[in-house]
Amino acid sequence: MNQVRKVQIGVLLTIAISMVIVLCTPSTVVPAKAGEMGQNEIMEINDFSGIPREVIDDAVSRAATLFGKNEGKCSDFVSQVLALYEEAKEIDVLVIVNSGGWGWSAIAESNEKELAPGIDGILTELGNATLWIDYFRTDNSFFGAIGEFMMAMSTNPARGQELAFRTEFLTDNLPDLKVILLGISNGCTICSGAMPLLAENEQVYSIQLGPPVWNNNSHMERVLLLRTNGTIPDSFSHGDLLTIFRANMESACGISQEYEGDILLYIGAPGHDYDWKYDWLKLQINNFLNEYFSKN
C-alpha cells in the first residue's frame, strides 16, 4: 500500500508540475519559420527593393497585429513572408507542409517522406507549377515542445492564427496562387486551427492525414481529412488507446505487428502510417487534387 501511495503521489506531482509549466508558457514562444523543402536555410530576405510598397505595408501590418511592438518577431515575420512572396510569384500551387511529431522536423526526415513526390507528381501532371515549404512551427527545445503540446491540446490558437495570417497575406497579394496546407499527425492541429479562419478564402485547401482524435475539419469545404490509410482505422486518430497499448506490449515481448504506424517515432500506433505506398490513400488524394487543381 505504501508503494501504491508513493506512485499516486508521484503521478499527481507530475501532473501538477506539467500544468504549471503549460500555464506559465507564453502562448507563442517564437514565430514559426519556413524553408523550401530540401534546403537547410530558412527563407528570409532583407532587401525589399522591387517589392511593391503596398505589399510591404501589408506584411508590416499583419506582423504588428500578431506580435504587437515586439520588433524582433515582427522583423522576422516580415522578412519571411516577403521572401515567400517573391518565390511564389511564378508558381500555381504552394504546399505548406506541417509534419508530425514536435513541429521542428522536415517532411524528408519523416516516415511520410514519399508523400511529397507522390502528391507533387499529381499536381504537375495536372499542369501546375509547384513550390513546397517545410513549416517549422516550434524550435527544437524544451519550451518548443511545451508550446507544441499546448497547440495539440487546442490551448494555443495563436499558432493557427499565425499560419492563417501568412497564408492570407500570400493569397491577398498573389490572387492566382492556390495554397495547400498539408498536415500529418500532430501537424494537422495547426491546419485545423487555421482553416476556420480561412473558410471564405477559396484559394486555400487542406489535406490532413491522421489528426488527433479531437481535431476535425471534415465538415469544411476544400478539406480532405483521412483517419485511415485504407488498411485499418488509425488507432491514434480514432483514440483507440487499447489497441495502442496492446501493440506496444506485444512489441516489447518480441511479437511483430501486422500493421505499421507510430507516434513520436517510437510509440507504436497501428494504422498511423500515411506513406505513399497505400493505394487507397493515393486514390483519395488523387480524387481531391483532380477536383480542385486540374488546369488541363
Phi, psi of 215 (to 5 degrees): -95, 130
List the beta strands (DSSP E) in the chain: 33-36, 93-98, 130-136, 178-184, 204-209, 223-226, 262-263, 267-268
Contact 237, 249 (CB under 8 A): no
98, 245: one domain:
no
H or E element at residue 63: helix 53-67
Asked, for residue 148, whether it belongs to a domain, the answer is yes
Contact 155, 52 (CB under 8 A): no
Asked, for residue 2, whether it belongs to a domain, the answer is no
| Residue among 200, 138, 131, 194 at smallest CA distance from 162 | 194
* Most confidently modeled range among 85-99, 167-181, 217-231: 167-181
pLDDT at position 181 is: 96
Asked, for residue 36, whether it belongs to a domain, the answer is no
170, 239: one domain:
no
247, 184: one domain:
no
- Local confidence band at 15 (pLDDT 50, 70, 90 cut-offs): very low
110, 194: one domain:
yes
N-to-C CA span, the chain: 72
Quote the number of domains for the chain.
2
Taking the C-alpha atoms of residue 118 and residue 3, their distance in angstroms, rounded to an integer, is 53
**Cα 125 to chain center, whole Å?**
25
Task: Provide the residue range defining the domain that includes 283.
Answer: 90-229+278-293
Residues 6+ apart with CB under 8 A from 280: 228, 229, 230, 231
pLDDT at position 10 is: 54
Asked, for residue 143, whether it belongs to a domain, the answer is yes
Q: What is the pTM of this model?
A: 0.81
| Residue among 270, 92, 108, 102 at smallest CA distance from 174 | 92
- pLDDT by residue (tens digit) across 38-94? 666 778 888 898 899 999 999 999 999 988 888 888 999 999 999 999 999 999 999
List the beta strands (DSSP E) in 130-247: 130-136, 178-184, 204-209, 223-226
